[in-house]
Chain A
């Protein structure tokens, strides 16, 4: 399969007054055309930061400290801000930001908002062309034409999220980054949005990066899962490999254990004691050492590198060496 996006040895550090925070530290993965890659981890593990880094817009004081982000054989980390804006953002990659549905400017209609975005990126386009495109995509995300004239406050959370998704898609990018698109929505609406994303994936054969903290949501949507912890990738595997629960990184195992199953009554849920490490002074060995239940002596001394243990399944753990 062709690769839509290749991330290699990407590093993104925050240069704060307290020290350098290694928010994303030497991560590599790729995204195949038409697939959905899930990026999971606890809050603060660097998953959203990764999303921003791919768009070439790290939040200050963050800076890309190394590595490559390759789209169409071009390393976009070398691009200038203008180039990124003209060639990459929204044209090739778009992003549904976390909570974006709550940030729609209340004084503009949905149509105004979308029109502005469209014309900003397609300066040559006529209004009619833009209108047609907007209506097409509103319909595609399951909204009727009259939404065009409505104000954000007249819409429910689910409808707003659909508008945001339509806005991320209507310039027809190759890659969409979805950052927690279902967080803050009601369960039923959440399921509807997940269905929508699945549907769009089939219709548009788009590649997407689905960022969430919830392994249960990821199970519904991601072809492959990439588990991050403390700025590093702990495990990458296919949906079956991860949720099949045969060979897992201890962190993934614990995280899965902490995610309750509805149709199976369990008496005790797992949890992971302790807190993630300090990213200014990270431990010498494995990042997960302090909280790991199967740690060994070597783990404290040296961090494991990520290694393929079976086709399509890589784990960064000394247990699998």
Chain B
């Protein structure tokens, strides 16, 4: 019976609610966010985003500062996306009585710009020598790297950008005039651009993409018969990456934003619910008892509502390491006072109601009156306050993060923005690093505000005309 009644009450509430358009839009957006949050494990392109956001090696195969892939739809240039190549041809040979294995990777290059980097990964154990050859469609082929070492079950990572710099310079030198070379510092050579460039006009001075099929050969020589060379694969880091691009630390921003949803909800809802409930309890208790208790509680409330939050939080963070478990209580401490005034106004009326007196006359104690008779009556009215408090909490966390006071163990939108700021995204025009987190924060916050307005209209019918 009880469930049925509260159910019909809910239906009634939603009927009313559905009449307020802005509220519906708000609910719709919040629902989308909730769904994204629940589906996070499925839709995260980098599954370990949460644990490894600050682990540089986890993101090393991504391009840095790459624009989102979909920007290609609006651009004449065709920039290469990141490509992982796991497929190779394998051939065994022999040289000087030692076994050699040749791994050949194919890459079809058809873009207006060279990839950002060429990376080869493998796992090696034992004494092994390996050479990497770069074969271009114009028939030129040369060794870009060689190494021989006793590896102790190591993962090796070759990057053309750093490891083949001098070889590439030597290759390009041949096609450049002496005059040009005077002004070229080998350290500044764009390795990948040279490797994927036509030779006619000089690959350094006038790089022009050379389209066609490239082949990368890895020749492994087993200097120790028991040595192993496993799982080789190649990555050609593109100039565009992922749904929302990458930052300067090569992190996928889409993953960051998706992983940030749950924290936004957690901070927003938890802080809002806790602080509104504390405010409700505070307001009701102080008005109910009145007198000296009210005076004292009121002074405390006034103290907290006038506290400047940021300066204090900054000083606190100088002492403590900020973690979620500290941040949420801190935010509650600074925001519970917000709802007290409204609660007080209603509670002052309610406590004079005859049914409160009647309950007292029946012998009810103060706490029964506060918790059973007064608070449940004000509770629905605070739902709107909760909705309004959520954006406040989200934005406060963001501003703290901007100041470098966020929890460094998690990914929040505020921290992405802070990294953008310190990483020079504003100066370098890396808009995909700034706009999505900012926009999404605004979107979630405003949808809570919409819901708050709608609830306000339903729950405070007197305000309906405003």
Q: In the complex they form, do A and B come into direct contact, defined as C-beta atoms under 8 angstroms apart?
A: no
The interface of chain A, by Cβ under 8 A from chain B, is: none
The interface of chain B, by Cβ under 8 A from chain A, is: none
